[in-house]
């Protein structure tokens, strides 16, 4: 398949998809995704101004996977069309040619997105997308390490974009993701590589270790919690705080070092554990005095989680790379939790939640249909699909008779996953603006001032 053509078929509709995807929906998605690929930049604002990302790929593919009609897919596209930026193919900078020799000169410059896209499309056409991902992300050369770190910049949007491209087997979208990573700055790289270096001093995890305990360790460590970098207002500094991360936090996050010798079963277990714990973290950080509300940045960590399942299923990736991706994802998730003020994680806020519509939570069919009709830029439906996926992949471990395994999973059973899904819909549906659907910094008291009191 050409790296400049979007061509989704019934054979590649994602790892979590509806059974009723119609030819009309496939046609609509392909047409609109091709328009997006040909015409629009992956950013609709500059990286320097905060990096506001084009979510059309995420939104349309998620809607398609959830069984949206052609009309729903077109509405999603049109509702986010007006603010997009053109690639500026006629601009002088768009005529530059990036090569292996001048590669580093063009990094972190959003205005060179078009040449970056051309570069990665040509590489994929010559070598295949699997080989290109190995060479430019996973081979642990200096260049690959740098670009992989950039994948975790911009509130982890590049790795989310890559996940969609890989999940739906679309070389054109994979090229977009690589180009998107290349135009981001590289502050996460030094942190992630530092944790990898320090990991050699940490014993690999035994089966008894639990990810949820690391969140407790981060929150309870005064040398981390009282660090100036995490003062109120730090939530809006995503990407700017890496040089100031306290060493105790780096040590704690590095302690998440997985045991490579335990093989594929351990990859699957730890992937499911990550999905469960990250979802618990993002959902349990509520304020008992306020209506339910989700944090914007922690929501991204959940939305990204499904793609670790995608990567874990790739035959061309070795187990070491799968473990490494999982470690990087979790270590970034821990930093994101810290920047949001170390909110207390209150499991009862999930288990006792009363849905706004009636006494019973909506089932998955109802939740998904409702989500597809909430105007947004794609974050809501991505959240819902990630939750649905989590409820499936985590269930065997949640129900395990081995308490060593079951105790790693704070979310228990379909009902609890559905309560979170209902919380997401209840807390976003009445807010027409994308910004107001989410809060920012749940660990800071002042951040809750914008949220209505609980009735």
One DSSP character per residue, 168-235 reads TT-HHHHHHHHHHHHTS--SHHHHHHHHHHHGGGSPPPPTT--HHHHHHHHHH-HHHHT-GGGSTTGG
Placement of tokens 């269930």 in the chain: 395
Give the model confidence (pLDDT) of 360-390 as tens digits. 899 999 999 999 999 999 999 999 999 999 9
Helices 171-182 and 157-167 cross at an angle (nearest 10°) of: 170
Query: Helix, strand or coil for residue 341?
Result: coil
Count CB neighbours of 13 within 10 A.
22
Query: What is the enclosing helix (H) or strand (E) of 198?
Result: helix 188-198
Residue 270 near residue 326 (C-beta atoms within 8 A): yes
Q: pLDDT tens digit string along 236-269? A: 555 568 888 999 999 999 999 999 999 999 999 9
Longest dimension (CA), the chain: 63
pLDDT at 92 (0 to 100)? 65
CA distance 230 to 228: 5
Dihedral sign for Cα 432, 434, 438, 444, please.
Answer: negative
Residue of 436, 444, 273, 250 lying closest to 332 (CA atoms) = 250
β-sheet bridge partners, residue 439? 295
Cα gap 427→452, rounded to integer Å: 10
Burial class (CB in 10 A: 0-12, 13-18, 19+), 283: buried
User: DSSP 3-state assignment of 240?
Assistant: coil
Distances (CA, A) of 415 to 170, 295, 364, 394, 395: 34, 22, 10, 13, 11
Distance of CA 167 to the CA centre of its chain: 13
> Rounded to whole angstroms, how far apart are CA atoms 147 and 179?
10
Torsion, CA 188, CA 192, CA 195, CA 197, rounded to 10: -120
pLDDT at 127: 98
pLDDT for the residue 49: 40
Residues of the chain under the 70 pLDDT cut:
46-51, 89-93, 233-240
| pLDDT for residue 230 | 82
Is residue 397 within 8 A of residue 409, CB to CB? The reply is yes
């Amino acid at each position: 398949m050409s790296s400049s053509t979007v061509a989704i078929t019934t054979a590649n509709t994602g790892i979590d998809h509806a059974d009723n995807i119609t030819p009309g929906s496939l046609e609509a998605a392909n047409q609109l995704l091709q328009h997006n690929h040909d015409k629009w930049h992956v950013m609709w604002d500059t990286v320097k101004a905060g990096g506001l990302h084009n979510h059309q790929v995420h939104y349309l593919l998620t809607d398609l996977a959830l069984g949206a009609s052609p009309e729903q897919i077109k509405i999603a596209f049109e509702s986010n069309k007006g603010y997009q930026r053109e690639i500026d193919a006629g601009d002088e900078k768009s005529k530059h040619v990036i090569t292996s020799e001048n590669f580093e000169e063009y990094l972190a410059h959003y205005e060179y997105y078009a040449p970056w896209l051309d570069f990665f499309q040509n590489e994929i056409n010559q070598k295949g997308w699997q080989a290109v991902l190995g060479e430019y992300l996973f081979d642990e050369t200096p260049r690959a390490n740098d670009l992989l770190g950039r994948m975790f910049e911009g509130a982890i949007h590049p790795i989310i974009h890559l996940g969609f491209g890989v999940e739906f087997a679309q070389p054109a979208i994979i090229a977009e993701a690589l180009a998107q990573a290349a135009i981001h700055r590289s502050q996460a790289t030094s942190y992630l590589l530092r944790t990898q270096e320090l990991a050699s001093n940490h014993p690999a995890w035994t089966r008894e270790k639990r990810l949820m305990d690391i969140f407790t360790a981060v929150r309870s460590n005064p040398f981390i919690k009282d660090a100036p970098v995490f003062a109120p207002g730090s939530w809006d500094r995503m990407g700017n705080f890496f040089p100031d991360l306290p060493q105790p936090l780096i040590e704690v996050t590095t302690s998440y070092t997985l045991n490579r010798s335990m093989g594929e079963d351990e990859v699957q277990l730890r992937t499911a554990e990550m999905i469960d714990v990250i979802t618990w973290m993002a959902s349990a950080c509520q304020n008992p005095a306020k209506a339910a509300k989700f944090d914007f940045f922690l929501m991204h960590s959940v939305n990204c989680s499904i793609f670790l399942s995608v990567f874990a299923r790739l035959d061309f990736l070795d187990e070491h790379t799968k473990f490494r991706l999982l470690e990087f994802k979790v270590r970034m998730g821990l930093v994101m939790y810290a920047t949001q003020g170390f909110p207390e994680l209150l499991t009862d806020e999930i288990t006792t939640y009363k849905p706004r519509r009636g006494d019973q939570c909506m089932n998955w069919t109802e939740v998904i249909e409702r989500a597809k009709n909430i105007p947004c830029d794609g974050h809501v439906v991505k959240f819902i699909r990630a939750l649905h996926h989590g409820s499936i992949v985590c269930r065997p471990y949640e129900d395990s008779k081995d308490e060593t395994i079951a105790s790693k999973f704070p979310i228990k059973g379909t009902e609890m996953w559905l309560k979170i899904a209902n919380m997401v819909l209840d807390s976003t549906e009445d807010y027409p603006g994308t910004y107001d659907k989410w809060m920012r910094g749940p660990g800071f008291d002042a951040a809750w001032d914008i949220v209505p009191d609980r009735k």
